[in-house]
Structure 1
Amino acid sequence: MAQNVTPTKSNLMATQKSLALAKMGYNLLDKKRNVLIKEMMGLLDDVKLIRDQITDKYNLAYHALQEANISLGIISDIVEDVPVDYGIHVKYRSVMGVELPRIDYEESKLNLDYGFEQANSKVDYAYKCFSDVKELTVKLAEIENSVYRLANAIRQTSTRSNALKNISIPQFEKTVKMISESLEEKERESFSVQKVIKSQKERAQ
């Protein structure tokens, strides 16, 4: 549906400019969407890989914890002595204006604060298994959050590009056509009037 504008040359030029900008905006949004989709598809492969790894690690860690509990009884007192890990730092990188998290994880050394009289090698092994789980969990959190942000950005970009492609650009094109046809019709009418006036002057002479 053409916009309701007065068919003048200035409005024609303004609408043509708006049409050109709309097409440029659509091309940029389409390129952005393609880049974001490519980025997300690469991360989805990583998500599947890490999820498989983390499932295996969790099974191994809980089995190790069970073995430690069997060898020493419930080890809740030992667990409370495990230090809090503050080695996680979140930074961000920008992909086509989308801020994606980048988690820097400084893996702490195996620093056990509980005494040897409280524990044994099974407890140490369980601690190590859960440390591996923690590292994979950090990686999975980074990637899944990035995928979520990319998916939202792709959806928003698609909505905007589709609005330009299916609504704005066709409206501008119809308006340009309407104004152009109106101006051409006026020119033909003006030309016909001028011919009639010229003919009348020639007869009068």
Structure 2
Amino acid sequence: MDMTLFPTKGNLIIAKNSLALSRQGYELLDKKRNILVHELMGMVDKARKLNEEILDVFEQAYKALQDANVSLGISVVQQIGFAVPEENSIQIREQSIMGVEIPIVTIDRKQMQAGYGFRMTNTALDIARQKFEKAKELSAELAEIENAIYRLATNIRRTLKRTNALKNILIPKYEEITSTITNVLEEKDREEFSRLKMIKRIKEKNS
């Protein structure tokens, strides 16, 4: 048997403290959930706009690349492509939002060099390179946001589960325990008061 169910003043104090902590925990978790939901909704809207922008930039980039293939020749464009160094400009760190670790993606623009001589190219290829670099930046930003959305959504579900447990299980449990013990103790006090009054009357009668 749960010892906290015994109707004692000590158990009443324990139950009241547990109830207060449960209510405080619920308020804090509910506040956290609301903040995370607000952040999530903002990110979802931003991700939608980024998706649209990325599609537009990729369309422009491939159009410019087609123009470069026509003007320079596919073989020349391929040779220039082989000269482009391996991607190493993307860096990832983490930032905390209400205890949730969110990835922050940054691109070192110093590493974003053309990787080929400009004498071999023309305006169309330069435009294509710029557009693909822009698409890379936007894609990195979108990856950051989508990852953040996933982590926030996961934490929101976890937080909601905990708030529901507090609201629907723990808080009612401690409210019932507190009420039960209080009623029992009050009844004992009334019985003790009646007993003392009776003893007093008997003493007065016999004196």
TM-score above 0.5, yes or no:
yes
Write the letter of the residue equivalent to 1:76.
Q
Cα deviation, residue 164, structure 1:
0.8
State the alpha-carbon separation in 2 of the partners of residues 5 and 62 from structure 1: 73
State the alpha-carbon separation in 2 of the partners of residues 176 and 126 from structure 1: 71
Among 106, 111, 114, the alignment partner of 2:114 is 111
Q: TM-score, normalization: structure 1?
A: 0.88
Q: Which residue of 2 aligns with 1:69?
A: 69
CA contact (8 A) 1:29 1:157 kept: yes
- Cα-Cα RMSD: 2.2
- Dislocated runs of 4+, deviation >6 Å: none
Identity %: 43
Q: TM-score, normalization: structure 2?
A: 0.87
Q: How does 1:52-91 map to 2 (within 5 A)?
A: 52-71=52-71, 72-74=73-75, 75-91=77-93
Which is richer in helix?
Answer: 2
In structure 1, runs of 5+ residues without a counterpart are none
Higher relative contact order (CA 8 A, sep 6+): 1
In structure 2, runs of 5+ residues without a counterpart are none
Cα deviation, residue 203, structure 1:
4.1
Q: Deviation per CA, 1:76-124, whole angstroms, max 9, x where unpaired?
A: 332221122322211222111111122221224542325744x433322
State the alpha-carbon separation in 1 of the partners of residues 134 and 127 from structure 2: 11
Q: How does 1:30-41 map to 2 (within 5 A)?
A: 30-41=30-41
SS state of the match for residue 6, structure 2? coil
Q: Which residue of 1 aligns with 2:158?
A: 156
Q: Which residue of 2 aligns with 1:183?
A: 185
State the alpha-carbon separation in 1 of the partners of residues 3 and 34 from structure 2: 31
Q: Which residue of 2 aligns with 1:49?
A: 49
SS state of the match for residue 28, structure 2? helix
CA 1:121–1:112: 2 relative to 1, 3 Å: farther
